[in-house]
Chain A
Amino acid sequence: MTGPQNDANVNTTEDAPTRRVTGVGRVLIAVYGILALAATGRSFVQIVSKFADAPLSYSLSALAAVVYIAATVALIRSGRGWYRVAWITIGFELLGVLTVGTLSLFDPSLFPHDSVWSVYGRGYLFIPLVLPLLGMWWLARRAPGRA
């Protein structure tokens, strides 16, 4: 954040004093960070040890991990660009958990191996299902340039 020509930065400094991410939003970011770590760890193990078993499931795991990392970063950073990235990644997560969760219930053979999103994230205390909703609520509350 050094360039004064960064207009996205100027936009957000109007309403937010020094930092944009404050209060309870910090907890949201921390939980996102933990989930990103969990998804990355699991995906790392799956790909290193048994990728050939279920390439589709494990590729999806890896993709989910990358998206969680991107969402965490986007929530931390300020500016319109990152705000958009946050919406896209969090929207993708919600879509992912709903789609994979539903499919894994109705046709378990599609996802024989656990992923972060299987059965709506049951293996992760349903946090993957709740978190995007909280994330969207929080993003909507602090839209840049919208008072």
Chain B
Amino acid sequence: MIEWFAWAQVAVAVLGGLLCIGLGLLGRKPTDLSMGATALVELLLLAQLVVAIVAPFTGNNASGSLLEFYTYLVSAILVPVTAAIWALIERSRWSTVILGAACLAVAVMLYRMLQIWTVQGL
């Protein structure tokens, strides 16, 4: 994991999450904006997957359990996809809130992943 990239990703996920929850509570149905924010979070997760696979070859090894790290990463990748499918099936304001909840959940999972990668086993 590259630390600054992970932090940027957490920031995007938090902002995207707050944006979607805000839009949803204002009564907006899922739009390009809220779906786009969720898609961005997903895209960054896929980038993170590539980074996580490549990083050990450059000497950037996880300090904690790789099994735990990848369990978080794979779960996190599934979350925005599920929320987006939900939003496509049911176009209501609550689907927008759910998009936001998914982004915030990803943010928490990313933070845990960063902890596993950087500060465990020291």
**A associates with B:** yes
Residues in A lying within 8 Å of B, measured CB to CB:
23-24, 26-27, 30-31, 33-34, 37-38, 41-42, 44-45, 48-49, 125
Q: Which residues on B sit within 8 Å (CB–CB) of A27?
A: 94, 97-98, 101
* Chain A residues within an 8 Å CB radius of B98: 26-27, 30
Contact B65–A49 (Cβ < 8 Å)? yes
CB within 8 Å of A: which of B50-96? 65, 67-68, 71-72, 75, 78-79, 82-83, 86, 90, 92, 94-95
**Nearest Cβ in chain A — how far from B18, in angstroms?**
15
Q: Name the contact of A37 in the complex, choosing from B65, B75, B92, B95 (C-beta under 8 A).
A: B75
Set of chain B residues within 8 Å of A30, measured between Cβ atoms: 83, 86, 98, 101-102
* B46 part of interface (Cβ distance < 8 Å): no
Q: Chain A residue with minimal CB distance to B68?
A: A45
CB distance from A18 to the nearest CB of B (A): 12
Measured CB to CB, the closest approach of chain B to A131, in angstroms, equals: 12
* Separation of A24 and B92 alpha carbons in the complex (Å): 10
7 other A-B residue contacts (CB within 8 Å) besides A23-B94, A38-B105: A26-B90, A27-B94, A30-B83, A30-B102, A31-B101, A34-B105, A49-B65
Q: Bin the interface of chain B by size.
A: 20 to 34
In the bound complex, residues from chain B placing their C-beta under 8 Å from that of A24 are: 94
CA distance A38 to B112 in the complex (A): 12
Instruction: List chain B residues, Cβ under 8 A from A23.
Output: 92, 94
The answer, yes or no, to whether B108 is at the interface (CB within 8 Å) is yes
CB contact between B95 and one of A26, A42, A44, A49 (< 8 Å): that residue = A26
Q: Return the contact of A49 from the options B68, B83, B86, B94 (Cβ within 8 A).
A: B68
Residues of A close to B67: CB separation below 8 A: 45, 48-49
Residue pairs across A and B with Cβ atoms less than 8 A apart, 19 shown, are A23-B92, A23-B94, A27-B97, A30-B98, A30-B101, A31-B101, A34-B79, A34-B101, A34-B105, A37-B79, A38-B105, A38-B109, A41-B75, A42-B71, A45-B65, A45-B67, A45-B68, A49-B67, A125-B108
* Chain A min CB distance to B73 (Å): 10
CB distance from B102 to the nearest CB of A (A): 7
